[in-house]
Amino acid sequence: MLFSSTTFIFYFLPLVLILYYTVFLKLPKVRNVLLLLFSLLFYAWGEPKFVLVMICSIVANYIFALIIARNQSKIWLVVMLIYNFALLFVFKYLTYTMTLLGLDIINITLPIGISFFTFQAVSYVIDVYRKDTPVQKNLMDLGLYISFFPQLIAGPIVRYTDFVSQINNRRSTREKFSDGIIRFCIGLGKKVIIANNMALIADKAFGADATITVAFAWIGAIAYMFQIYFDFSGYSDMAIGLAKMFGFDLLENFNYPYVSSSITEFWRRWHISLSTWFRDYVYIPLGGSRVSSKNRFYFNLFIVWLLTGIWHGANLTFLVWGLYYFVLLAIEKVIDKQFVKINVALRHLSTLLLVLVGWVIFRADSLTAATEYLKIMFGGAAFANKNVIFYLNEYKFFFVVGFLASTPIFKDKKWFNTISYFIAPIILIVSISYIIKGAYNPFIYFNF
């Protein structure tokens, strides 16, 4: 079920909220069960059979944590990791692996959001092993943590240590509820108004034949850069807003990444929950930057970005995209002192250009397609045709809004916070009008 669907906005969400704040208002324990049941229903809406995968993940990791809490066994920790990543491999990578090996292909449908809820489950059990959190003995409460529908299918990835205190000790206030509504409306607008319109241009450019021009290749790449940001950050805003409506606080997942003046800064601002997960559960356990040799440091960095690429999907483009960022970050570490001396504006532009090239690799269907697209961008075709003028004229509003909304120009402005109470309903009405009309409504991160 999409947040940006009439089913969710007009039926699912109102029903949950009405029950949550009326029938179960003074029954906090039962409220959690209510949220768990509706979370499972939310996940089962599209493909009911995959809710069994979710339930197996919850039950298995509940048992793993109980065993590990009792005896601190590394063997059981390894078994837990094998179980979770084997489950992820079968559903997400087995078909592609068989294709590469030339074997008979078994087409396995990808359960939505499996990477997100698997990472949450793994982090919980590891935290129990590290004694960073007590084991959860209530299966329903652990189930709520892993399946909580606002962030279930596309994050942000929530740490159990940040969530556990809110399971039975959260406060629902009018202020938090209204803030949640506004945040949801803004996220919906990002997704439906900006991302979906940018997707029309990006799909046209990346799906075009060899007659695509240099100018249109750049327009398509920039459109995709806006699409993936507003698609994913919009979803995160909706998730954070929905959580607030039920009294939960989720950590931020984006912090205006396109204002970054280095690749290092970009990854501190983009998909923060994923970067933090890899830092805490892969990079630091490997030794991080506190190692005796530079070679080991670069090896640690390599492993993190190799896994980051693989996490995003079963395609060589994602693997190369991850290693591309490993190379960029390694270079930044080498030239750090010289790099900071460069003019800030130049650093910002160079960072945006490198990120844009990365998004072309990420978006392309194959490495060959990515290479051909980049060749065209950098002069491998005619410069422009009528398409360029048409798309710039037709979508200029969305490009301007996308540019402004990707900067913190309005952030923390008291006047903007005040008028947001009036802007949010307008954004909601416009977004719903797009949804009702059946406008193009893809969602990139459902694939992860």
| Residues designated catalytic | 312
CA distance 435 to 441: 8
- The answer to whether 95 touches 314, Cβ cutoff 8 Å, is yes
CA distance 74 to 257: 38
Count Cα neighbours of 317 within 13 Å in the Cβ-side half-sphere.
16
Residues ≥6 apart with Cβ < 8 Å to 266: 257, 260, 351, 355
- Residue-by-residue DSSP string for 268-284: HHSSHHHHHHHIIIIIH
CA distance 163 to 155: 13
Strand, helix or coil at 97? helix
Closest C-alpha among 228, 121, 236 to residue 183: 236
CA distance 81 to 75: 10
CA distance 226 to 207: 17
CA distance 80 to 51: 20
CA distance 82 to 110: 19
Tokens at 111, concatenated: 């359960």
Tokens at 156, concatenated: 């942000």
Count Cα neighbours of 29 within 13 Å in the Cβ-side half-sphere.
2
